[in-house]
Amino acid sequence: MITKVPRLAAGLAEELIRIVGADAVITDPARLMVYESDGLTAYRCPPRAAVLPRDGDETARVVRAIAQAGVPFVARGSGTGLSGGALAVDGAVVVCTARMNRILELDLHNRRARVQPGVVNAHLTAATRPHGLYYAPDPSSQSACTIGGNVAENSGGPHCLKYGVTSRYIRGLDVVLPDGSRVYLGDRGFDTGELDLAGLFVGSEGCFGIAVEVDVELLPLPQATHTLLGIFERLEDAGRAVTAIIAHGLLPAALEIIDQATIRAVEESIFAAGYPTDAAAALVVEFDGIEAGLEAEAAHAEAACLECGAREVRRATSAEARAALWKGRKKAFGAMGRIAPDLLVQDATVPRTQLPDVLAKIAGIGERYDLRVANVFHAGDGNLHPNILFDRRDETEMERVERASKEIMRICVEAGGTITGEHGVGLDKRDYMALIHSEDTLRAMESVRRVFDPRGVCNPGKVLPEWIRGADPAIAGAPGAGPADAGQAEVGTDGTRKAVPAGATA
Amino acid sequence: MSPEKLNGSTTVRDDEAGTERVDGEANPGVSAGMNGGTVVDRRQAAGGAPVVAPRTVEELSTLMTRASRDGRQVRCIGNATSLPPGYLDGPVDLVLSTRALDTVHAYDPADLTLTADAGVSLAQLERLTGDQGQWLPLDPPRRARRSLGGVLASGAYGPLQGKFGTPRDHVLGLTLVTGDGRVLELGGRVVKNVAGYDLVKVAVGSGGQLGIVTSATVRLHPLPVQDVTLLYQTPRLALAVVLARSLATAPVRIPALELLAGHGEEPTVAVRLLGSPEAVEESEHILNVRVGREASHRLKGEASSRWFAALERFEDNAAAVARVSHLPSRLGDLAEPGVECGTVAAHVSLGVVRVAAGTAGGDDRTAVSDRLARLRERVVKAGATFRVSRANIPRWPAPEPATAPGVLALTRGIVDSFDPAGVLSRPGS
Ligand SMILES: Cc1cc2nc3c(=O)[nH]c(=O)nc-3n(C[C@H](O)[C@H](O)[C@H](O)COP(=O)(O)OP(=O)(O)OC[C@H]3O[C@@H](n4cnc5c(N)ncnc54)[C@H](O)[C@@H]3O)c2cc1C
Ligand SMILES: Cc1cc2nc3c(=O)[nH]c(=O)nc-3n(C[C@H](O)[C@H](O)[C@H](O)COP(=O)(O)OP(=O)(O)OC[C@H]3O[C@@H](n4cnc5c(N)ncnc54)[C@H](O)[C@@H]3O)c2cc1C
């Protein structure tokens, strides 16, 4: 699939090259393919250009130049996002943080680090671990995703049940605003009595500006960790065990469920973890902290699993044995990728107690649409990932995937939940926003976005439904931009350009 | 200046359903403590404005819509404990109280979530959740008397932030009636939610600039089985600082770590440990080994929570309270000037130091102002931030640093979008 996008005006290209050097400005369509989609591969849309600044100063100058030319732009970390957030729609220029990958300061006394946004999540923990510290938010993509992307998505991870999501750990942000000006949000001293603008920026999905330096808080490594793996005959029983463990007053570090479809995918793959393939679900329970007392907590959790019908509970304390218990969970996505050409990773949260009921309904939806749905999720938080396996070359299946997705979202919302727990709205879920927010609330969000980005040039087309955002007008003046020049990209009935779902044109 | 006094003041029902007027005569001294300075009659403080307590969100929304249309000035009060200095200065046309919004709407112990109106007090929540073996681990000053809405709106927190965070980390969603009367449901009721921009974060701690919080859903935690407080006392402040810092960098997560000094006893480092009996005992051991000594006192269970409850009253009788902050490692630079100014209570792992200067109603008001000015000068020189959070004196030093222009512009834009007519107070503008 080749989608024609507006070219970068020569003047702007020269200006960008002056700022970052020729090797950091990419305009060659073949090389731009790398940036045409993120982890949600159903959408593809190549950018007009990609620019890779090295630091905050260069980023500010790049953004100023782009903004002055009236061209929209979008920040991009590693492109592991699962909602199309980093996609360059509307002929946007990608500002990629890949070269801003330095840890600027490790302040061990204060348990803080100052990092550039392109630092990979796992690299930060690797750098701090020798000092007995770590960065707590641990998205399953942590070996690839960046801190900047984590900030933008307010990412979670398996251990966020106990430790909380990204926003808990961000102390301050040095941000380049969409007009190229720079502002520090948050406060190293923490107690200014001002609006929590850093908290607002976290989770703003790249629409409020580009974070160019991030002050994060680190935690001391837990002294010890105990891991359990419960094997269940019924998925609902695993869901009940989660509630029983919490009801017992225990707060595990992680509570993760892997269903039968996922177990089988893993066991058939090279990642085989030794989970029984006839089991309906496996539940990973992990406790960490002070060594003393973990044993008792693990024993309580084991009892709770058995009471809820677990046929077997495995336990591990050594690093290798624990890794073996986690393997099926950690390799789930990779394994699924091997059994179907395409994978739609869904994301929604429901109240924890609704899990058994909602899981049963999701299974029903899968059957009704004749689709394979594999669940692997953060059960302790009620954060579901019903993953739909499909083949995008099959157009009728694509349509069923879409309809099943919509229904899954609806039942999660009806159960008192929300349309995304950690992957964000991005491009993918804009039109679901009205399922959970009133028009007034959506308009309030749009007003706040306009405070940061009056011209609508920063990651346009994301998060809010178009009827709230309106057309983003700033783009019009730009030479070569705008709908008329959008080449063969799909033009919606309203005349606006839409990202092209890859399956539709491939 | 107690809630009993507010409750004891005569209230006169008038106008439409559910509104009431607080009669100023009943307790003339009360508002003095709130008004950041001038000793004035409450009615004068509020410019004779009626206090109205709407019973429903709709009523409140209607009042705000009208006020916005008519260009009137509205102030919101919760349980009457913690008005920022200067809050009642200037003309006020209407005071809205959230006290008639007092319903707990949903409590699902199995989900560890609770939805309650703004006027519900933290004390009520403590009783309700305690029966289920759960709690909301938020311990701001004057906790027991405060309303949920007030605590969230002011972002107030206490020692337990060390483990559990500040109000922003407890709130899953809230209802906000904006300055122009829109009713916004922000966030949700589930523990993980990234559906749209996180407006909850700006509403929490906004000091009521954006609107009035009418209800909120909060995340609860299981009550810890064991609750132990260790008190380490040393004769010298410098030693206490070293000890506190050494504990703060121990390989153990400490839920609450406070330094108290200038309080008439030896400088004291207080550590609160929560969890299973085994884990608490082991943590205690690790900490004692780290600092090479045993605690001077060890309080368990009720005694432990009582000690920290007493600390919640730390600010109560002060003429003024300053908050200074720096990197946690710079505690020594703040504690020493703090003790020269008044009584010090520091959130050690956060780097926030509270300094309570003088006594409310004492006659050393000018001296208090001068001492605060000196404190400000010294800590600012050390690179710390300074602000006065409560004041009962005529004048107090300005905050430092002033808000950066870029931050100010964003703040103004956001506040304008919630309260276009400028009906609510705008601290700092
Ligand atoms: C296998 C797999 C597992 C995953 N597991 C999890 C999980 O457990 N939990 C979870 O929360 N997510 C998970 N994700 C989703 C994804 O990894 C996260 O959203 C991650 O934070 C994205 O980081 P990134 O660097 O790849 O960002 P990108 O995908 O490049 O960008 C994501 C968004 O961030 C914006 N952005 C990037 N950098 C900046 C910056 N410096 N300033 C401002 N905005 C910026 C972009 O504009 C875009 O809107 C998973 C993804 C995959 C593929
Ligand atoms: C006419 C009048 C009479 C008064 N009479 C008395 C009296 O008799 N006795 C007495 O002790 N005090 C009295 N006060 C002082 C005042 O009531 C309190 O200082 C104030 O209510 C603090 O409320 P709080 O406890 O909720 O404080 P906090 O909860 O600490 O609130 C602090 C901040 O949050 C804001 N806030 C509180 N609730 C909300 C909410 N739901 N949504 C948004 N913002 C909110 C407040 O406006 C304030 O900025 C009076 C004030 C007035 C104007």
B324-347 pLDDT tens trace? 999 999 999 999 999 999 999 999
Please give the pLDDT value at position B6. 27
Amino acid letter at B119? Answer: G
Q: Which residue has the higher pLDDT, A326 or A490?
A: A326
Q: Give residue for tokens 């393997």.
A: A327
Query: Could you tell me what percent of chain A has a pLDDT over 90?
Result: 82
Strand partners, B227: B274
CA of A83 to the centre of ligand 1 (A): 9
A18-48 pLDDT tens trace? 999 999 999 999 999 999 999 988 889 999 9
Strand partners, A49: A93
Q: Which residues line ligand 1 (CB under 6 A)?
A: A 38-39, 74-82, 85-86, 97, 117, 139-141, 145-146, 148-150, 152-153, 155-157, 205-206, 210-211, 333, 422-423, 459
Give the relative orientation of helices B277-291 and B237-248 as an angle to the nearest 10 degrees: 130
Q: Which residue has the higher pLDDT, A180 or B93?
A: A180
* Nearest neighbour of A440 by CB, restricted to B184, B325, B404: B184
Q: Which residue has the higher pLDDT, A490 or A87?
A: A87
The pLDDT of B214-238, averaged and rounded, is 97
Helices within A232-331 (DSSP H only): 235-247, 260-268, 294-307, 319-330
CA of B101 to the centre of ligand 2 (A): 14
CA distance A273 to A257: 15
A138-151 pLDDT tens trace? 999 999 999 999 99
CA proximity to B321, closest of B364, B354, B366: B354
A209-266 pLDDT tens trace? 999 999 999 999 999 999 999 999 999 999 999 999 998 899 999 999 999 999 999 9
Average pLDDT along chain B = 86
The yes-or-no verdict on residue B31 having pLDDT over 60 is no
The yes-or-no verdict on residue A495 having pLDDT over 70 is no
Please give the pLDDT value at position A129. 97
Q: How confident is the model at residue A455 (pLDDT cuts 50, 70, 90)?
A: very high
Residue B398: is it exposed, middle or buried by C-beta count within 10 angstroms (0-12/13-18/19+)? exposed
Q: How confident is the model at residue A90 (pLDDT cuts 50, 70, 90)?
A: confident
CA of B175 to the centre of ligand 1 (A): 29
Q: How confident is the model at residue A336 (pLDDT cuts 50, 70, 90)?
A: confident
Q: Is B125 in the pocket of ligand 2 (CB under 6 A)?
A: no
Please give the pLDDT value at position B294. 97
- Interchain pair A195, B186: CB under 8 A: no
B186 reaches A (C-beta below 8 A) = yes
CA distance B49 to A504: 64
The pLDDT of B13-29, averaged and rounded, is 32
Optimal mutation site among A191, A353, A446, interface B, most CBs of chain B within 10 A: A191
Please give the pLDDT value at position A299. 97
The pLDDT of A431-440, averaged and rounded, is 96
Residue A264 has, within 13 A of its CA and on its CB side, a CA count of: 12
pTM recorded for the entire structure: 0.90
Q: Measured from the CA of A158, which atom of ligand 1 is nearest?
A: 8
Please give the pLDDT value at position A488. 33
The yes-or-no verdict on residue B421 having pLDDT over 90 is yes
Between positions 227 and 266 of B, the ones with CB within 8 A of A are: 245, 249-253
Please give the pLDDT value at position B18. 33
Please give the pLDDT value at position B29. 27
With contact defined as beta carbons under 8 Å apart, do A485 and A12 qualify? no
The yes-or-no verdict on residue A352 having pLDDT over 80 is yes
The yes-or-no verdict on residue A465 having pLDDT over 90 is yes
CA distance B284 to B290: 10
Q: Which has the minimum average pLDDT: A173-177, A251-255, A480-484, B330-334?
A: A480-484
The pLDDT of B398-423, averaged and rounded, is 94
Report which listed range, A408-422, B137-151, B362-376, is most confident.
A408-422
CA distance A249 to A264: 33
Please give the pLDDT value at position A497. 36
Give contacts of A252 with chain B, Cβ < 8 Å: none
Please give the pLDDT value at position B49. 76
Q: How confident is the model at residue B94 (pLDDT cuts 50, 70, 90)?
A: confident
The DSSP letter of residue B352 is E
Please give the pLDDT value at position B50. 80
Q: How confident is the model at residue A501 (pLDDT cuts 50, 70, 90)?
A: very low
Q: Which residue has the higher pLDDT, B43 or A349?
A: A349
Which H/E stretch holds residue A77?
A: none
Please give the pLDDT value at position B19. 34
Q: How confident is the model at residue B36 (pLDDT cuts 50, 70, 90)?
A: very low
Neighbours of B39 (CB within 10 A): 14
A386-418 pLDDT tens trace? 999 999 889 999 999 999 999 999 999 999 999
Mutate to test the pocket of ligand 1, among A45, A123, A145 (most ligand atoms within 8 A of CB): A145
Give contacts of A177 with chain B, Cβ < 8 Å: 406
* Nearest neighbour of A353 by CB, restricted to B108, B201, B279: B108
CA distance B410 to B412: 6
Nearest chain A alpha carbon to B113: A351
Q: Is B31 in the pocket of ligand 2 (CB under 6 A)?
A: yes
With contact defined as beta carbons under 8 Å apart, do B257 and B248 qualify? yes
- Sorted by sequence, the CB contacts under 8 Å of residue B132 that are 6+ apart come out as B107, B109
Distances (CA, A) of A76 to A93, A423, B158, B379: 10, 15, 38, 40
Distances (CA, A) of B302 to A247, B283, B298: 23, 19, 12
Average pLDDT along chain A = 90
Q: What domains lie within chain A, and their CATH numbers? A: 10-98+462-505 (3.30.43.10), 103-220 (3.30.465.10), 222-338 (3.30.70.2190), 340-436 (3.30.70.2740)
B227-240 pLDDT tens trace? 999 999 999 999 99
The pLDDT of A152-167, averaged and rounded, is 95
The pLDDT of A260-279, averaged and rounded, is 93
The yes-or-no verdict on residue B360 having pLDDT over 60 is yes
B241-255 pLDDT tens trace? 999 999 999 999 999
The yes-or-no verdict on residue B281 having pLDDT over 80 is yes
Amino acid letter at A139? Answer: P
The yes-or-no verdict on residue A313 having pLDDT over 60 is yes
Q: Which residue has the higher pLDDT, A479 or B378?
A: B378
Neighbours of A403 (CB within 10 A): 14
The pLDDT of B58-65, averaged and rounded, is 96
The pLDDT of B182-188, averaged and rounded, is 97
The pLDDT of B156-172, averaged and rounded, is 95
Please give the pLDDT value at position A187. 77
Please give the pLDDT value at position B257. 98
Instruction: Write phi, then psi, for A274 (nearest 5 degrees).
Output: 80, 20
